[in-house]
Amino acid sequence: MGFSGFRVIKEALTGHRGWGELWRNLEPKPEYDIIIVGGGGHGLATAYYLASVFKTSRVAVLEKGWLGSGNIGRNTTIIRSNYLLPGNQPFYEFSMKLWENLEQELNFNAMVSQRTIINLFHSDGQRDAYRRRGNAMHLTGAGGRLLSQEELRGIAPFLNFDNARFPIKGGLIQERAGTARHDGVAWGYARGADRRGVDLIQNCEVTGFRIEAGKVLGVETTRGFIGAKKVGVAVAGSSSRVMAKAGMRLPIESHVLQAFVSEGLKPTIPGVITFGAGHFYVSQSDKGGLVFGGDIDGYNSYAQRGNLPVVEDVIEGGMALMPMLGRARLLRSWGGIMDMSMDGSPIIDRTHIDGLYFNGGWCYGGFKATPASGYAFAHLLATDTPHDTATAYRFDRFARGHVVDEKGVGAQPNLH
Amino acid sequence: MLIPHPLLGLRDAQEFTYLGDASLMARPDPDQPDAEAAFADYVFLRDNPAGVHRELWFHEQGDRSWLVVTRNTVTHEILGAELATDVARRGA
């Protein structure tokens, strides 16, 4: 049954007894056409688009824990398409367009809120760089414009404009950017996939791949062998661990990224704001908490928690940007494991093993990419050709020298 | 995290800059016929284990030595540290 205003009223009048579960809890079948490993945002979106756009039947999603238990439930919920490079920007703009119609398509409230993002600049050189980025955005129709300091003062008067070291000169705004409810996105895709016949199998960890003569035949799991014609792996955070079971080494290091939320406050921050002189970004959730984060800790980690030096660094960035932050109390902080790739960009590609496909390397920008990532991965799985906006995300780009390096720092994952 | 520097004792990890897997010390031989492929693997591919990891840390705000630190990436427990020059001399 669909969600609607009418139904909310009906359920309210009948004691909310008719809602039911959002998806079925199924036992795995012996065989599928396509298995998606990983029931996070990207895996669920892939399954949804496989079923809805590419009309693929006999699809299963295998998840080792519960659906949405990885980074889709741990991120800072920002959606935007303000990239620079031609390999990236069309992809993220495609994602933005899918976000804009996501709730109508899924009939699910993902709380997509286009409340804008503003990237602040602090020098003439940085203004020029952001002007260039804005022009690159316009090439894909993503919008965006430069804000003068005066305009910015009207929007966000609480910023520390006259900081002696990093005065705020203005910002690059993308009005269509904003936030979405991270869990809601996973639940919406899961429900949408389930309603189109995808089997969502929880508590089913993939322990190995069955590969014969260079072709994948299926996956070994904690619930037995499951056969498949094609296997798509979308397990960002655990990519190296899972692909090692297929004998692959990846251009990825795992790093921990911390995030923070303050106590609930009255509405104060109009959209998403990022500091241009350090690494700090902040938005305000609908519950009122200031949601913010900064740099990764910078060393290989699979622990979903970080260390204090980076906590201090992030808070310092926040205090330099908006000193009023010091009056708020920190409610909690947490960490998630990022697939930090060698050029800061993701991979959506076939592997050298026939029938085995990979989606990962999202660094700490995977959430905004969820719809396009799922769509492009479904496109690749269904048609064996990359989606038009994801042609740059190949495994061999590193060896061939066609890296997609937004920051231009080279093969040093902790700098991306 | 505190890193047990072999010369200076326990030092705050903040004094160090992290580079990555200690296997980066073993550069491929550029004169071999497969050098191009070997360098692509060397530069871009990593084992990235969950568990014990040997890694290079540079004591940038200290004695500017390179250390090979053995650390558990799941628990952040540091199991040992030695001078990278000692490791190189030993050939491991």
- Residue to mutate among A252, A255, A256, A301, with most B CBs inside 10 A, is A301
Stated pTM of the model? 0.96
Q: Taking a C-beta distance cutoff of 8 angstroms, is the pair A106, A191 a contact?
A: yes
Shared domain check, A187 and A134: no
Q: Which residues of B touch A411 (CB under 8 A)?
A: 43-44
pLDDT at A413: 96
Closest chain A residue by Cα to residue B12: A309
The predicted structure's pLDDT at residue B64: 97
Average pLDDT of the segment spanning A101-117: 97
* Contact between chains at B37 and A399 (C-beta distance less than 8 A): yes
C-alpha gyration radius of chain B: 14
Query: Going by C-beta distance under 8 Å and a sequence separation of 6 or more, which residues neighbour residue B35?
Result: B28, B29
State the pLDDT confidence band at A292, using cuts at 50, 70 and 90.
very high
Dihedral angle, C-alpha A366, A367, A369, A371, nearest 10 °: 140
Distance CA A280, CA A319 (A): 10
Picking from A318, A340, A362, the residue at the C-terminal end of a domain is A340
Whether residue A362 sits in one domain with residue A260:
no
Could you confirm whether domain B2-25+38-90 is CATH 3.40.50.300? no
| Domain presence at residue A1 | no
Answer whether B46 sits within 8 Å of A249, measured CB to CB: yes
What's the structural domain count of chain A? 2
**Predicted local confidence at residue A121, as pLDDT:** 98
Residue A233 is predicted with a pLDDT of 98
Task: Please answer yes or no on whether A414 and B75 come within 8 Å at the CB atom.
Answer: no
- Say whether A307 and B46 touch across the interface (CB within 8 A): no
- Cβ contact, residue pair B44, A398, below 8 Å: yes
With cut-offs at 50, 70 and 90, classify the pLDDT of residue A1: confident
Q: Do A342 and B55 touch (CB under 8 A)?
A: no
Chain B residues within an 8 Å CB radius of A240: 46-49
What CATH number did the domain enclosing A190 receive?
3.50.50.60
Provide, rounded to the nearest whole percent, the portion of chain B with pLDDT above 90.
97
- Closest-CA residue of B relative to A243 is B47
Residue B23 binned pLDDT confidence (cut-offs 50, 70, 90): very high
According to the model, what pLDDT value does residue B91 have? 78
Q: Residue A324 above 80 pLDDT?
A: yes
Find where tokens 């204090």 sit. Answer: A308
Q: Residue B48's closest chain A neighbor by CA?
A: A253
Q: Which of B44, B67, B71, B79 to mutate to test the interface with A (most CBs of A within 10 A)?
A: B44
- All structural domains of chain B with their residue ranges: 2-25+38-90
Residues A289, A328, single domain; the answer is yes
C-alpha dihedral (A276, A277, A283, A284), degrees to nearest 10: -140
Give the rounded percent of residues in chain B with a pLDDT score beyond 70.
Answer: 99
The Cα–Cα gap between A67 and A185 comes to: 11
The pLDDT of residue B92: 59
Interface test with B, best of A64, A245, A297, A300 (most B CBs within 10 A): A300
Residue A210 has pLDDT above 80, yes or no: yes
Query: Does the pLDDT of residue A216 top 80, yes or no?
Result: yes
A88-103 confidence digits (pLDDT tens): 999 999 999 999 999 9
Q: Do A240 and B48 touch (CB under 8 A)?
A: yes
User: Mean pLDDT score of chain B, rounded to an integer?
Assistant: 96
Query: Distances from the Cα of A119 to the Cαs of A130, A167, A215, A373, in angstroms?
Result: 8, 14, 46, 24
Cross-chain CB nearest to B76 (options A253, A303, A411):
A303
Per-position b or e across A184-217, b if 16+ CB within 10 A of its CB: bbbbbbbbbbbbbebbbbbebebeebebeeeebb
Do the domain assignments include residue A195?
yes
The alpha carbon of residue B45 is apart from the nearest alpha carbon of chain A, in Å, by 4
CATH of the domain at A133: 3.30.9.10
| Chain B interface with A: residues with Cβ < 8 Å | 1, 12-14, 18-21, 37, 40-41, 43-50, 53, 55, 71, 73-76
Identify the domain containing residue A197 by its residue range.
20-77+183-252+343-400
The answer on A54 and A64 residing in a single domain is: yes
- Answer yes or no: do A41 and A73 share one domain: yes
Q: For A293-318, what is the mean pLDDT?
A: 95
- Shortest distance, CA B91 to any CA of chain A (angstroms): 24
Tell whether A135 and A269 lie within a shared domain.
Answer: yes
- CA dist., res. A73 & res. A13, Å (int): 32
Distance from CA of A241 to the nearest CA of B (A): 7
Task: Give the mean pLDDT of chain A.
Answer: 97
d(CA A111, CA A234): 24
Nearest C-alpha of chain A: how many angstroms from B44? 5
Of B2, B9, B1, residue with least CA distance to B63: B9
Question: Do A352 and A228 share a structural domain?
Answer: yes
pLDDT digits 0-9 by tens, A151-166 = 999 999 999 999 999 9
Closest CA to A144 of A101, A89, A181: A89
Residues A187, A73 within the same domain = yes
